[in-house]
Amino acid sequence: MALKRKIAYIDLTNRTVKTASIPIELRKKFLGGRGLDMYLLYNHMEPGADALGPGNVALVSAGLLVGTLASASARIHLAGKSPLTGFIGSANCGGFFAPEMRLAGFDHLVIKGKADKPVYLWIHNGDIEIRDAGHLWGHNAQDSQTLIREELGDDDIQSLTIGVAGENLVRFSCVMTSMKNAAGRTGIGAIWGSKNLKAVAARGTMDIGIAHPEEALDYNKEIITQVTSAKVSKTMQKLGTMFIWGTTNTTGLVRVRNFQSNQIPHADDIEPESIEEEMIGTAGCFGCQVHCRGRYFIKGGPYSGTYAEGPEYTSLGAFGAEVGCTSKQTVLVGNHLVNSYGMDTLETGSMIAWAMELFEKGILTEKDTNGLDLSFGNNDAVIEAVNQIAHREGIGDILAEGPLRAAEKIGQNSIQYLIHVKGMSNLHSDERPTPALSLNIATASRGADHLRSRPAIDLYHLPEKVLRKIFGNPVPYDGPLTSDFRDYEGKPWEVIWQEMCYGAVDCLGICKYHTVFLGPNMPNFDEWSKLIYLNTGLELSPKDIWDSAERCYTLEKLFNLREGQTRDMDWLPDRYFDEPTDKGLPVVRGRSIDREKFTKMIDEYYKLHEWDKKGIPKKAKLESLGLNNEPSHQL
């Protein structure tokens, strides 16, 4: 059955593997995926452990519905203490690895210690083997997957791998599977590199029993129709997540030349329709009918003929607007390189854009960059900077440290030009006209983040009646709601609701694009309750699922507090308040965040969470969630 998968405790120092069953009580409390990961991290890592030391833990977890008859149930979640921020390290990705790991008998891996030389884990039908990875070290993320398949003689093996960025402990390196599926944020790849862990490979033929297979199959057909009939899905089938770029740049909701403007003109070459001309088709993840991953060959230049996948919306910003470039060649090559090296495309682009503004202001000179001209719009310099970061060469060695450490090394008030929260850079969006989205990135548990709590539908001008239907389920809400994205009222609840929505699907292993993220009519708590019952037999109400997501988010807050987070870290860079937007449609031009109103928003956000004014969960809240005895060491 879907609930019979095991957890494995792997000690790389002593090369031991122990397995255990997962108590049903913890399943009900945390579901799986991100939820159980946060429980395991809080219970298995000593407070204050060095993120790049053997005391950190590397967690690999499949969601509760992964590999079942639930649509788009392909997400794998990875966790640990972030080498980038020092707080929650958390990221997930799709592809085919998560279902394969479940078919091999495991839902969760807790990886401790450090191997004395490079290794990888081989998971096969209930067994886990620690194997030598010396021959894989130095290879990129994709070639490593091929080499593992060749070594083990099975083309159906799925692997999670790090590239050279993870090996070189780039603090925003990520873990990859397939061509472009990246667990991208918070530097999980550096945790693996610090442990000499190159890969985790899985192949399984153990059946995942479905509790009510015929009904589950029929209901999933309904879900597929619901998802694929939505306009946002039809657009993604054609353009992938790139489609968002055309709207946000036209409106004036992107950051340009680091944070100097909010709209980039004369950028037709990086419009989705232009990049679509380079596409040779699309691909999808396990169990997904949307197929949003573009596929392309690079044409011309030193990478000519290279096959790659993407780019996502974020790469258009990272190698386009943020660095002042309008060449799709730069976007396509940059996208390929970060996937090959295994680096977070958001953090990479943001760090280069920041360095370019420092270069423009004379804080960095060609003496500091060894002659590299970091002028905005220099396409060649962008690509060279990506290479230098991955290999920790030249100025790239400093940028590889991430925002706060790099700013400390450079000095000269360079920190003032960072667009970050809690030491993690924001993506290329400009939230100055959108208080709800600003609150989202300021308070998100893992740093500046669009995938933790972003109420993107706030931009849609939906009628209040529709907003109440969405944001009043499964927890009633009778406070203010407004259709104007420029307003401050009611936005804290929207952010909290999205926290629970995204938290729930991260626990279940479902893609966020199959939720109320960009589509107001997409599945949410009611549908997930039925999917859980039909596929696993667990009877959980929509409110039960909400509570599981809230436990997960509260544990993340407790972890961050334990590692030193304070209220002042739930805040935005000064530029959000002091520098109004200069371009875009009239509705966004001249906008900035009001400090006083924003402070009140955070106060309300804390109050709705039942946290005190310092952001500490109150005792009664912990008791209501059953977290008052954590860490409990039950698993």
What is the per-residue DSSP string for 548-587? HHHHHHHHHHHHHHHTT--GGGSS--THHHHS---SS-TT
Is the same domain home to 414 and 462?
no
| pLDDT tens for each residue of 571-628 | 999 999 999 999 999 999 999 999 999 999 999 999 999 999 999 999 999 999 999 9
E strands of 23-124, at which residues?
58-62, 76-81, 88-93, 106-112, 119-124
**CATH number of the structural domain spanning residue 486:** 1.10.599.10
| pLDDT tens for each residue of 450-460 | 999 999 999 99
Q: 362 is in which domain, residue-wise? A: 242-425
| pLDDT tens for each residue of 182-196 | 999 999 999 999 999
Question: Considering its fold, how many domains does the chain have in total?
Answer: 3
What predicted TM-score, i.e. pTM, was given to this entire model?
Answer: 0.97
pLDDT (0 to 100) of residue 443: 98
Is the same domain home to 143 and 274?
no
Is the same domain home to 100 and 47?
yes
What is the per-residue DSSP string for 129-148? EEEE-TTTTTS-HHHHHHHH
Task: Answer yes or no: are the C-beta atoms of 81 and 423 closer than 8 Å.
Answer: no
Domain boundary, last residue among 391, 425, 459: 425
Q: Is residue 219 part of a domain?
A: no
Is the same domain home to 511 and 599?
yes
pLDDT (0 to 100) of residue 1: 66
Is the same domain home to 266 and 187?
no
Is the same domain home to 180 and 261?
no
DSSP 456: G
At residue 191, the 3 state secondary structure works out as helix
Is the same domain home to 403 and 485?
no
**CATH number of the structural domain spanning residue 56:** 3.60.9.10
| pLDDT tens for each residue of 128-142 | 999 999 999 999 999
Is the same domain home to 346 and 370?
yes
Is the same domain home to 195 and 290?
no
- CA dihedral angle for residue 130, residue 135, residue 137, residue 143, rounded to 10 degrees: -100
Is the same domain home to 336 and 452?
no
Q: Is residue 400 part of a domain?
A: yes
Instruction: Say if residue 159's pLDDT is above 80.
Output: yes
Is the same domain home to 470 and 545?
yes
What is the pLDDT averaged over residues 513-530?
A: 94
Q: Is residue 156 part of a domain?
A: yes
Domain boundary, last residue among 404, 425, 446: 425
Q: How confident is the model at residue 246 (pLDDT cuts 50, 70, 90)?
A: confident
Terminal Cα-to-Cα distance of the chain (whole angstroms): 20
Q: Mean pLDDT, the chain, as a whole number? A: 97
Q: CA–CA separation, 350 vs 171, rounded Å?
A: 14
- The H-or-E segment that residue 280 falls in is strand 279-283
What residues are paired with 79 via a beta bridge? Answer: 59, 90
Q: CA–CA separation, 281 vs 489, rounded Å?
A: 43
Q: CA–CA separation, 190 vs 320, rounded Å?
A: 26
Q: Is residue 252 part of a domain?
A: yes
Domain boundary, last residue among 425, 449, 482: 425
> Which has the minimum average pLDDT: 1-5, 24-28, 212-216?
1-5
Smallest CA-to-CA distance from 595 within 575, 565, 567 is with 575
